[in-house]
Structure 1
Amino acid sequence: MTTTTPLAVPVPRFRIPGNKGIWAGISCEFVEFSVLFAVYFIARAHFPEAFHDGAQRLSVTAGTVITLLMITSSYFIACSVNAIRQDQHRAAIIWLVRGLAVALGYPLTKALEISWNLANGINGESGIFFTVYYYLTFTHLVHATWGILGILWVLARLSFRGYSSDDHAGLEALACYWHATDIIWLVIFPMFYVLA
């Protein structure tokens, strides 16, 4: 009786996308926003009426547009990563340009929202709800701006063939950071525009 040895099946190696540095940065970002979310919930517990009334004065349309922009840009950046993994260099650039174009809609929409807020007498001194709202959303906008600058840097490198299917950790790192920033917005949006 002969025994046959089963064929060796290669086990896919688990790999964390991006690099250690970006994950350290994302961890710091999550810690920072965890503290800010704690401030939100403490303030909301002490001033529930101010939070309920304040949310009624915000533009849900602006919040919804920002949410759609963040989700869409994240999708386009993910498509860019997928394209470079398949050595589709031109497609990776096209998807990343689309991601950048949509991402730029966020600060533009935020600027229009702030102009609308100020025209309607809503500023950081309009009460505790708006103080927390401006602080949290401005902090998120700063992180998103860093992400947009990262997109520009990665796009420049990608344009000069700085990434390939074998080496694209920088593009993955950008995608991870942008997705993390997106996730944080998906928490901020209902906290201010929907559930308050």
Structure 2
Amino acid sequence: MTAAAIPAFDPPAERESSGRIPGNKGIWVGICCEFVEFLVLFIVYFVARAHFPDAFEQGTERLSRLAGTVITLLMVTSSFFIACSVATMRAGQRRRSLWWLVAGLVVALGYPVAKYLEIRWNLAHGIDGDSGIFFTVYYYLTFNHLVHATWGILGILWVLARHLGGGYTPDDHDGLEALASYWHATDIIWLVIFPFFYVLA
């Protein structure tokens, strides 16, 4: 990939409207609800960890750090590709924006595949929801995140369909920005989940 293939992000002064919040109000209400939901789940995590420190230390050692790392790379990479789709659309490069979005979808689809393989690995090693408090919290949090990511993938498909139909222009692409905002939020949540379960012991 050449340097020219990666879009340059416009400085704030050149954006279509200075200080404008990307996307729409509806998506930000949804993002706030998502953050509140996971904030409650993270509180549950810390309460459980405080009461059962040994279970959490031993549980982390039993999980596949490779699986967690692969999912992290998939989330971060797909977020980057979708950000590139937004940036190239702002620059008036519709075809390039479309290809970045397709790339973001392909990489994002790797997440449920990686999660499925991780669960198979877990079950083969005797790790299920009845394996202790650590794994109960682990499954509940990661499955919730997978649900939100699945909604995001469905959103990518919807935005891609609209993009293919010419539904976005450099001056009107709120739907694409809304998708990017939601996917970045879901990415950020995973970046918190990853160290909680796969790194901290």
Report the counterpart of residue 3 of structure 1 in structure 2: none
Paired letter, 1:143? H
* Structure 2 counterpart of 1:31: 36
Correspondence list, 1:154-169, <5 A: 154-169=159-174
Distance 2:106 2:97 in 1: 14
Coordinate RMSD, CA, aligned = 1.4
- The TM-score with structure 1 as length reference comes to 0.94
Whole-angstrom distance in 1 between the partners of 2:23 and 2:171: 13
- Equivalent position to 1:53, from 30, 37, 58: 58
Question: For each residue in 1:21-71, what CA deviation from the matched residue of structure 2 results, as whole angstroms up to 9, or x when unmatched?
Answer: 000000000000000000000000000000000000000000000000000
Deviations 1:112-143 (A, max 9, x none): 00000001100000000000000000000000
Counterpart in the other structure of 1:4: none
Equivalent positions of 1:142-153 (< 5 A) are: 142-153=147-158
State the one-letter code of the partner of 2:154.
L
Q: Which has the larger radius of gyration?
A: 1
Q: Which runs of 5+ in 2 are unaligned?
A: 1-12
The total of aligned residue pairs comes to: 188
> 1:37 and 1:13 mapped to 2: Cα distance?
35
Structure 2 length normalisation: TM-score? Answer: 0.92
Name the amino acid aligned to 1:90.
Answer: R
Code of the aligned partner of 2:91: Q
AA matched with 1:48: P
Shift of 1:86: 1.1
Q: Give the match's secondary structure for 1:126.
A: coil
Aligned partner of 1:63 in structure 2 is: 68
Counterpart check, 1:130 vs 2:135: yes
Shift of 1:14: 1.1
Say whether 1:121 aligns with 2:132: no
Deviations 1:146-167 (A, max 9, x none): 0000000000000011000010
1:13 Cα deviation from its structure 2 partner: 2.7
Corresponding residue to 1:112 among 78, 97, 117: 117
